[in-house]
Chain A
Amino acid sequence: MNRHGFSYVVPQAFSSLRINGWMTFAAIATIAISLFLCLLFWLMVINIDANAEQLESNVEIIGYIADEIPQEQYNAIQSKIAALSGVSSLTYISREEGLQRIAPRFGTVEQLLDSMGGVNPLPNSFSVKAQSPEAVSGIAGQMAALEGISEVRYGESEVEKLFAFTSALRFAGIVIMALLAVAAVFLVAMTTRISVYARKQEIMVMKWVGATNWFIRCPFLLEGIVLGLVGSLLAVGAAFFVYYKASAYVACSLSFIVMLPASALWLTVSLIAVGVGVLMGAIGSIVSLARFLNV
């Protein structure tokens, strides 16, 4: 299509959007609402992931020393643990210190000891922190294999539950996002189809007189892209407004939750959201035009 062609198709697209006012509004609203919900899900998943990672990186790996191991061998075990790759810090915790650490959950050390018949059942242990969350399970496995270590714990069940929860949430998010995207594409297709039917006679005439497929397709494609663009910009604006408000609330009232700053997210998230919106608009119009394209 030459530049003269563009000078005809661009005004045509905007004129169609104006004429089909309510459908235009409905299509933009559907794209905006769908993308807004998708973005909220996405931002939630990003933040849950960040929290889970932080939680895991704070995980303490406790390696209990077998009772029969004499104190003299502790240094050798400590050196072997320190040599494991990914270990960030290593602390020896005596059975008395161990009792003191868990006692606050049950009252005082005395009360805890009384409840256990005056005997401290805890063995001596080493507390290890990993450099990265990914290293935790590896370090735990290697520690368990060391001679002199009777048992290793790192709260694996809690971490696994958290990751199972985020995976389920991510899956639900993807399904919901896909459904919303299909709904948005369908409505764009409907809007474009109304424009196509309104201009059916004109399209036929243009085909008879030798318009190219692109010349016929272009105004409708442009119409879909504009719907997608406007809808996605509204969605991005609304989603970041909500995110900003939620961040402020969380910072004040739920400070144990980490929320990534909006400034670190908005550019990538906005670009992807606008890209998806434009793509949805374009797909919607291509779908509705398919059978009109053969000259």
Chain B
Amino acid sequence: MLIQAVNVTKVYKNGLTALNDINLCIDSGEFVFLTGQSGAGKSTLIRLMFREDQPTSGKILIAGRSISRLSERETVALRRNSGVVFQDFRLLEKNSVFDNVAITLKATEVPKEQIKLRVPEVLEQVGLVGREKEPVINLSGGERQRVAVARAIANKPMILYADEPTGDLDPQTSMELMKLFVEINNQQTTVIMATHDREIVNHFNKRVVTLASGRIVSDRRGGFRL
């Protein structure tokens, strides 16, 4: 078991219950869609899984280890094994494609020579060969999201989280991006994606966990459920 959520509840300071007693197990190498309407708790669950936030009660275990109380070193190790892609890309707009991807490797103190080899490799994987020097601000939405994916996978994480990655993209671009996620998953990276895009979920025959009002209402393979 790679990821386990045990009785996870998250209540925000304003009293809103985002997650209510969630229990979930995800195996290594799985591709899991977290679906549900806006406010169902998909993004909150992803934030708890990569430890951007903490559950109010319950615990999340990654590879059998609770991530509630981690030292700085353990948190760093957890993050280095996880990649995150956001709906709004969260790229450094004025920087080049290369710099945006390289930041993952620089932050993990990889030597410059290795960065020069690894970045073109990742850009090839996401279909952005030859765009290294281009400032991100000049790219289309789909291209930006590819840069975000490249950044997330540059240090070969075990788990890739994606929070509504196709939210701002047109259907054709979304589908191309989804194929990229499937390819990444085929290389044994566990992919957990929050989305409310029915077309996408229905198109790929993957495990679908459906959330409603902070609870899991369905957990089955294939098809969109609300």
A210–B109 Cα gap in the complex (Å)? Answer: 10
Residues of A contacting B110 in the complex (Cβ-Cβ under 8 angstroms) = 4
* B111 interface contact, C-beta 8 A: yes
Count of chain A residues with a beta carbon within 8 Å of a chain B beta carbon? 20
* B87 interface contact, C-beta 8 A: no
- The segment from A125-133, A157-165, A201-209, A271-279 that touches chain B is A201-209
Asked whether B90 lies within 8 Å of A295 as measured between CB atoms, the reply is no
Asked whether B107 lies within 8 Å of A215 as measured between CB atoms, the reply is yes
CB contact under 8 A between A207 and B79, given known A8-B106, A202-B103, A212-B72: yes
Q: How far is the CB of A248 from chain B (nearest CB, A)?
A: 54
Q: Whose C-beta in chain B lies nearest to the C-beta of A8?
A: B106
* A79 interface contact, C-beta 8 A: no
Asked whether B90 lies within 8 Å of A210 as measured between CB atoms, the reply is no
Residues of B contacting A237 in the complex (Cβ-Cβ under 8 angstroms) = none
Residues of A contacting B109 in the complex (Cβ-Cβ under 8 angstroms) = 1-2, 4-5, 8, 215
Q: How far is the CB of B174 from chain A (nearest CB, A)?
A: 23
* B108 interface contact, C-beta 8 A: yes
A135–B150 Cα gap in the complex (Å)? Answer: 80
Q: Whose C-beta in chain A lies nearest to the C-beta of B86?
A: A208
Interface residues of B in 101-115 (CB under 8 A from A): 103-104, 106-112
A5–B112 Cα gap in the complex (Å)? Answer: 10
CB contact under 8 A between A209 and B108, given known A295-B75, A295-B76, A295-B79: yes
Asked whether B104 lies within 8 Å of A209 as measured between CB atoms, the reply is yes
A215–B105 Cα gap in the complex (Å)? Answer: 12
Q: How far is the CB of A201 from chain B (nearest CB, A)?
A: 6
CB contact under 8 A between A295 and B72, given known A205-B92, A210-B80: yes
Residues of B contacting A207 in the complex (Cβ-Cβ under 8 angstroms) = 79
A4–B151 Cα gap in the complex (Å)? Answer: 19
Q: Whose C-beta in chain B lies nearest to the C-beta of A293?
A: B72
Asked whether B107 lies within 8 Å of A206 as measured between CB atoms, the reply is yes
* B210 interface contact, C-beta 8 A: no
Per-residue interface assignment for chain A, residues 205 to 222, with 1 indicating a CB less than 8 Å from any chain B CB and 0 otherwise: 111111111010000000
Residues of A contacting B224 in the complex (Cβ-Cβ under 8 angstroms) = none
Q: Whose C-beta in chain B lies nearest to the C-beta of A202?
A: B92
A interface, over-half SS: helix
Interface residues of A in 209-266 (CB under 8 A from B): 209-213, 215
Q: Whose C-beta in chain B lies nearest to the C-beta of A211?
A: B107
Residues of A contacting B92 in the complex (Cβ-Cβ under 8 angstroms) = 201-202, 205
Q: Whose C-beta in chain B lies nearest to the C-beta of A203?
A: B107
Q: How far is the CB of B23 from chain A (nearest CB, A)?
A: 26
* B159 interface contact, C-beta 8 A: no
A4–B102 Cα gap in the complex (Å)? Answer: 13
Residues of B contacting A295 in the complex (Cβ-Cβ under 8 angstroms) = 72, 75-76, 79
Residues of A contacting B84 in the complex (Cβ-Cβ under 8 angstroms) = 208
Pick the residue among B76, B81, B83, B103 that contacts A212 (CB under 8 A).
B76
Residues of B contacting A213 in the complex (Cβ-Cβ under 8 angstroms) = 72
Q: Whose C-beta in chain A lies nearest to the C-beta of B99?
A: A202
A212–B80 Cα gap in the complex (Å)? Answer: 10
Residues of B contacting A5 in the complex (Cβ-Cβ under 8 angstroms) = 109
* B98 interface contact, C-beta 8 A: no
* B155 interface contact, C-beta 8 A: yes
Asked whether B108 lies within 8 Å of A211 as measured between CB atoms, the reply is yes
* A73 interface contact, C-beta 8 A: no
* A7 interface contact, C-beta 8 A: yes
Interface residues of B in 67-101 (CB under 8 A from A): 72-73, 75-81, 83-84, 90, 92
* B33 interface contact, C-beta 8 A: no
A7–B111 Cα gap in the complex (Å)? Answer: 9
Residues of A contacting B107 in the complex (Cβ-Cβ under 8 angstroms) = 205-206, 209-211, 215
Pick the residue among B111, B112, B151 that contacts A209 (CB under 8 A).
B151
Pick the residue among A1, A4, A201, A210 that contacts B79 (CB under 8 A).
A210
A-B contact pairs, 14 of them (CB 8 A): A4-B109, A4-B112, A7-B112, A8-B109, A202-B103, A205-B107, A207-B79, A209-B107, A209-B155, A210-B80, A210-B155, A211-B76, A212-B73, A213-B72
Task: Known pairs A208-B84, A212-B73; list 13 more (Cβ under 8 Å).
Answer: A1-B109, A4-B109, A8-B106, A202-B92, A207-B79, A208-B50, A209-B103, A210-B77, A210-B79, A210-B155, A211-B108, A212-B72, A295-B72
The 10 closest A-B pairs by CB, nearest first: A210-B80, A211-B107, A210-B79, A5-B109, A209-B104, A206-B107, A295-B75, A4-B111, A4-B109, A8-B106
